[in-house]
Amino acid sequence: MARALWEISKSAVIKNVKEIARYSGKKIIAVVKANAYGHGVNLIAPLLERLKELEFFAVSCAEEGVALRLLGIKKPILLLSGFLKEELELLKKYKLTPVVSTEGELKEVIRRKIPYHLNIDTGMGRLGLLRPPYGLLKIFPPQGVMTHFSQADLDPDYTRKQIVIFKNLIRPLRVKYIHLQNSAGLSYKVDYANLVRVGLSIYGEFLGTPPQGLNLTFPSRIRAKIVGVRRLPKGRCISYGCTYRLKKPSFVGVIALGYADGLKRCLSNRLKVLYKGRFYPLAGSITMDLTAVVFSDTKPSAGEWVEVVFEGQRFGDLARLCKTVPYEMMTSVGNRVKRSLI
């Protein structure tokens, strides 16, 4: 009954986790925040739970961590964005491991003896302590320490500086886990860390060019049904604002996918979709629920599918058209697009 489908290959997702572990030589923190980057955490987390390469799941907040536990997830869960005071009882009840970024948070977890990871800000400028409070850490040491790269895909010198700063700051500490590489950070060798903290690469995408030897598989296909087809005359305007006029009499199909479903308006008159092995352009402004496609002399039928995202046209390709990042494209896909594992 679905009007739009997001199909995700189980084997491709599993292959990516194993490939990242092989390439990095480290175990994995699988980042499944924001509904597993839009893919459906209810599908992705149980799929990854059984993999020996996986050491932790990571989400943003306590609410997401609790949701994982209610799915039956047993692996350790990191809360990358820390916690609010009113969430402290949830951390204990659901065995959630917060990432601590302030001395105030640190004092709270020390007082309650809640296992935690310490976040050191080496250049991201978002969350984290500028320097470990070594005295406090002796009272109740962290289970792990982390930092976050701000531009691993853009500035190798800045990233290498972060790697060195972090190594020097954590030298006095004795912890079980050290992690700093995100997906783009896989391009850098960090011999003193023992985990990689990755999200985007699990889902087959990479900012920039993946390092040689890292072979990722794109797992996703998003399809939408054609809900109407008409033959319209030359010169006819298509959609709001009349941003597209037909150059000749053409069959115009309307697909059940709009900006409420994640097909962003910045793709209007720019993106092409795949129908029976051929590309056809979107025409006119993308609307909330529907988008027009010009099929020219080809006459499709209502109820047939077009492909919007697939191996040859990834989220990263859509992101470049909109001058944004694949993360935004993934997490924008709405709930009307039915997710399934295949």
In the set 33, 177, 259, 280, the catalytic residue is: 33
Q: Is 62 exposed, middle or buried (0-12, 13-18, 19+ CB in 10 A)?
A: buried
Q: What span, in angstroms and rounded, lies between the C-alpha atoms of 233 and 251?
A: 9
Could you tell me where the DSSP H helices lie in the chain?
10-24, 33-37, 41-49, 62-70, 88-93, 103-112, 134-139, 156-170, 315-321, 326-331
In the set 92, 176, 234, 240, the catalytic residue is: 240
280 is catalytic: no
Could you tell me where the DSSP H helices lie in 25-123?
33-37, 41-49, 62-70, 88-93, 103-112
Amino acid type, 180: L
209, 186 Cβ separation under 8 angstroms: no
308, 326 Cβ separation under 8 angstroms: no
171, 178 Cβ separation under 8 angstroms: no
240 is catalytic: yes
Q: Give catalytic residue positions.
A: 33, 240
